[in-house]
Amino acid sequence: MNSISHDREARNTAAFANAYTLSYHFANTFLSQEFKEKYLGITREIKASLRNRIQNVDWMSETTKSTLGSG
């Protein structure tokens, strides 16, 4: 990796960290607990649906299914 690639990687890492920090602060400052719980529930439902779909495909190995479906 050359120095330009290192610089780009460092900028990308810093940009991600800043975006995450700002998003976290925004959510904790401006979003109600009810809003957070609602969307956490939706996220859990999506994950459960995807987990179910993964378990029902016939082209994927059981090892891969168990790895993907555990998160």
pLDDT in tens, 52-65: 999 999 998 989 88
Q: Is residue 45 located within the same domain as residue 13?
A: no
Mean pLDDT of the chain: 89
Q: Is residue 38 located within the same domain as residue 24?
A: no
pLDDT band at 69 (very low <50, low <70, confident <90, very high): low
Q: Is residue 42 located within the same domain as residue 14?
A: no
Helices (H) and strands (E) in the chain, counts: 3, 0
Q: Is residue 61 located within the same domain as residue 44?
A: yes
**DSSP H helices in the chain:** 3-30, 33-56, 62-68
% of the chain beyond a pLDDT of 70:
90
Rounded to two decimals, the pTM is 0.58
d(CA 47, CA 56): 14
Print the domain residue range for 26: 1-30
- Paired tokens of 24: 């976290």
Q: Is residue 26 located within the same domain as residue 37?
A: no
d(CA 19, CA 37): 22
Q: Is residue 39 located within the same domain as residue 9?
A: no
Q: How many domains does the chain have?
A: 2
